[in-house]
Structure 1
Amino acid sequence: MANILDRLIGAFNPQAGLRRHQARELLQRAYEGASTRDGWRPRRAGASADTDHRADAATLRVRARSLVKNTPYVARGLGSMVANVIGTGINPRSLGKDAKRITALWQEWSKVADADGVRNLGGLQAAAYRAMEQDGEVLVRLRARRPSDGLPVPLQLQLLEIDWLDSSKVGSHGDNTIINGIEYDPLGKRVAYWLFDQHPGEVLGPRMARTSSSPVPAERIIHLFNPERPGQGRGFTRLAPVISRVRDLQLYEDAEAQRKNLESRLSVIASGDVNAMGPLGAEDQRTPDQRSESGDLGTLSSGSIIQVPSGLNITTVQPNAVPGYVDYVKLQLHLIAAGMGITYEMLTGDVREVNFSSARVAILEYRRNAEQLQWLTLIPGLCEPIWRAFIDAAVLANILKHPDYSCDWAIPKWDYVNPVQDVAAELDAIAGGLCTISESLRRRGMEPELFFTEYKADFERLQRDGTLDFLMMLQKGRTLGMGQAQAAQSAEKGEPR
């Protein structure tokens, strides 16, 4: 809108006045979301990801751990994510010339890969992924072992919580720069991680506790996290967007529990002369004066008739129930599930309102996110570094002659939502040329080459045993039986055969 000065200038020079008005219009914001009139001032605007991490990550991590420990649906949601993304393990299959020997060596080593001696390699993957989602990041330290230790490959993996990393270490170290406990060279490459000698939260006594940290070469550390911003060097917990909402819901649930407790009680207010009133409960041994002074006249016995003195007014107090609790909690749980990137059913186990179509849509959406996480974060950030370290250790120990890192990875297969319809749809797609058998196998988490090799070996064994003809006869009978059943159904409906 033109002001007085614009109108005055426009009276003498209309073109100048019009230019001023157009320039003022250009200064106005094109995006309503950028307007500052609503009073919204984001905290720490313009800070880098590492600066945000240094300020907030430790507090977020502590609160996320507390929610996982004390909130049933958060613990269930995190467990569902681990079960779907990791399953029993993400396993490699060597594609090199000595593939059979390497694969067999890997299977033997995976049983004793954990330096703590608690898990196998699949369990270590599950624990690492769980820590990554809960804490935002996790460390895996590669521990070289002696040949005398008797391991299939002289290497073990030590899983460390991110607390081992000295996040307070910031500054310069020669020509290198240390940011949040990670040392970078002038080109930005990670060269060392500054780790404590033990977990800083371990209770060991004043003489044994040490707060100093020392650098560990970066090639001996696998730092697993899921970066969301360019240049991000550390990870944030997946629960960060929902921490405050979960806490508010917990407070609401506690308040509701207290209100329900009050609803279940019947209170009586008595006014008047209570001195002539006898004890209401058999266990009340107080005199009327004592009861009058305290304001507590006793308890009401169930199924009894009690006479009160004349002039005593009795008023009952019974709180009314407030509706809407279930709907509000369910809405909040839906929002929490969305913030965690999982379905409502995975978070709560409540499948009462789910039908086949909605369940299929939800699980397909989650699977796309899970596969993205598997192939873009876990395999390149955790599985491949472990595989390369395994091959290098085997070569250095003269177990393998040459390093051969070529392999493919088998992720956990997805179960069908409706096996009969899903398998029939896949077979129709293969028969119609819209999908290959190998592509269908890969979707199920299976390696086609390995599948066909095992399939051929099974047929050859069945032929040698003489049981192949018998199985074919059973399959033929089953096919005929299905055909007869379909014909009977068509006859009942009056359809032509």
Structure 2
Amino acid sequence: MDADALPFLSRKIVEHMGKKYTAKVRKQFRNYGYGDAGASKTRRAFKKYHAVSGSPKQDIDRHNSVLRSRARSLYMSAPLATSAIKTLRTAIVGPGLYLHAQVDGKMLGISEDESKKLNKLLEMEFELWAADRRSASVSGLSDFYEQQQIALMAWKTSGDTFALFDVGETDILHPYSLRLRLIEADRVCTPSTTNVSPLSTYGKNTDTGNNIYDGVEVNEKGRVVAYHIRNTFPGELSTETVKWARVEAIGKRTGMPNILHIMDAERPEQYRGVTSLAPCIENIMQLGRYLNSEEAAALLQTCFTIYVTTETDGDG
């Protein structure tokens, strides 16, 4: 029935009930705290901003392969990305972090002079190993200080990197057997035989019952117990049979780490790192395209030929 056809008193009741219902609805949808700020669902800026948060496995592990590839591509092709990574390398490690021994003489029961002599001796002994390329690395191509630079650049570009402790031969010139071997982030991955699906980074070790997150094996308490390292680089053309080596995080016999995982965790329960270029990949890519277009336009502009015409005759 039309409201105008109702008696005056009935219309007033209908209007009053309508206002009361509207006030009730408004009260229900009133925003409090962050609901009026970053969590608002009514502001125009957020109407099409539907963010969904997942676990570190969903948000990071599933996308890490693409992020690494794009970050490396920008590092090799975009000067801005290259300078960002190299600036971090120079600012953090520079020529390398050197040992500056500071033994506690009081704890050892020795004098201050003896402490200074011991500090000098320790620094000299460490330098015998660190400054020699054949002593510090498995490949023999870089000393300890150069490996720091390589590790930091790989960490910032790929999100994380790994260093294996290996044992090498000793002789008169190389008295220490410790060798470091840097491992590319991509080679630490979940074995295909344990994957839940061919495209998944999540797997399960059937021997131990532990979960494997993108190559990192974790026990039921969430502690990292092992890393699975592939013998070849994923996607690399090779005649070698693909296989994985399981490296325990801590040696059972020595109680010392077998491998160093260099990463910067952003969230709890995160087991793999994310490239430092991840938040700005799109911006760097678009800026690179813009600069290339400007350079091409400027180069094309220099190729234009200018013709000057006049109405006078040749003699004039």
The two structures share one fold, judged by TM-score above 0.5: yes
Aligned position for 1:264: 302
Task: Work out whether residues 196 and 214 of structure 1, in 8 Å CA contact, stay in contact via their aligned partners in 2.
Answer: yes
Aligned position for 2:103: 95
Question: Gaps spanning 5+ residues in structure 2: where?
Answer: 1-12, 109-117, 191-199, 251-257, 312-316
Aligned position for 1:52: 59
Equivalent positions of 1:324-335 (< 5 A) are none
Aligned position for 1:230: 268
2:155 to 115, 132, 150: 132
Equivalent positions of 1:172-211 (< 5 A) are 172-173=204-205, 174-204=208-238, 208-211=239-242
Aligned CA distance change for structure 1 residues 118 and 175 (closer, same or farther; 3 Å): same
Aligned length: 261
Q: CA deviation at 1:178?
A: 0.9
Equivalent positions of 1:106-255 (< 5 A) are 106-110=126-130, 111=132, 112-147=135-170, 151-167=174-190, 170-173=202-205, 174-204=208-238, 208-219=239-250, 220-255=258-293
Q: CA deviation at 1:10?
A: 8.2
Aligned CA distance change for structure 1 residues 257 and 150 (closer, same or farther; 3 Å): closer
Q: CA deviation at 1:50?
A: 2.7
Q: CA deviation at 1:214?
A: 2.4
SS class of match (1:141): strand
Q: CA deviation at 1:36?
A: 3.3
Q: Deviations over 1:137-190 (max 9, x none)?
A: 111011023456963321110011101112455222223111111101121111
Aligned CA distance change for structure 1 residues 202 and 5 (closer, same or farther; 3 Å): farther
Matched letter for residue 66 of structure 1: S
Aligned position for 1:451: none
Q: Deviations over 1:431-477 (max 9, x none)?
A: xxxxxxxxxxxxxxxxxxxxxxxxxxxxxxxxxxxxxxxxxxxxxxx
Matched letter for residue 144 of structure 1: V
Aligned CA distance change for structure 1 residues 262 and 151 (closer, same or farther; 3 Å): closer
**How far, CA to CA, are the matches of 1:24 and 1:252 in structure 2?**
48
Aligned position for 1:277: none
**How far, CA to CA, are the matches of 1:6 and 1:134 in structure 2?**
65
1:24 to 10, 28, 31: 28
CA RMSD of superposed structures (Å): 3.3
Task: Work out whether residues 31 and 40 of structure 2, in 8 Å CA contact, stay in contact via their aligned partners in 1.
Answer: no
Higher CA-based Rg? 1
Q: CA deviation at 1:19?
A: 9.3
Aligned CA distance change for structure 1 residues 305 and 26 (closer, same or farther; 3 Å): closer
Aligned CA distance change for structure 1 residues 265 and 199 (closer, same or farther; 3 Å): closer
Q: CA deviation at 1:105?
A: 1.9
Aligned position for 2:196: none
Q: CA deviation at 1:73?
A: 3.0
1:72 to 76, 79, 86: 79
Q: Relative to total residues, which structure has the larger helix share, 1 or 2?
A: 1
Q: CA deviation at 1:47?
A: 0.9
Aligned CA distance change for structure 1 residues 201 and 152 (closer, same or farther; 3 Å): farther
Matched letter for residue 69 of structure 1: M
Task: Work out whether residues 196 and 212 of structure 1, in 8 Å CA contact, stay in contact via their aligned partners in 2.
Answer: yes
Q: Deviations over 1:113-135 (max 9, x none)?
A: 12111111111111111111111
Aligned CA distance change for structure 1 residues 146 and 169 (closer, same or farther; 3 Å): farther
Aligned position for 2:10: none
Task: Work out whether residues 161 and 183 of structure 2, in 8 Å CA contact, stay in contact via their aligned partners in 1.
Answer: yes
Give the TM-score taking structure 2 as reference length.
0.71
**How far, CA to CA, are the matches of 1:80 and 1:5 in structure 2?**
71
Aligned position for 2:88: 81
Give the TM-score taking structure 1 as reference length.
0.47
Task: Work out whether residues 6 and 21 of structure 1, in 8 Å CA contact, stay in contact via their aligned partners in 2.
Answer: no
Q: CA deviation at 1:8?
A: 1.8
Matched letter for residue 82 of structure 1: R
Aligned CA distance change for structure 1 residues 221 and 6 (closer, same or farther; 3 Å): farther
Matched letter for residue 163 of structure 1: D
**How far, CA to CA, are the matches of 1:256 and 1:225 in structure 2?**
37
Question: Gaps spanning 5+ residues in structure 1: where?
Answer: 12-16, 268-299, 307-497
Which deviates further from its counterpart, 51-60 or 89-98?
A: 89-98
Q: CA deviation at 1:242?
A: 1.3
Matched letter for residue 301 of structure 2: E
2:49 to 40, 43, 54: 40
Task: Work out whether residues 143 and 156 of structure 1, in 8 Å CA contact, stay in contact via their aligned partners in 2.
Answer: yes
SS class of match (2:161): strand
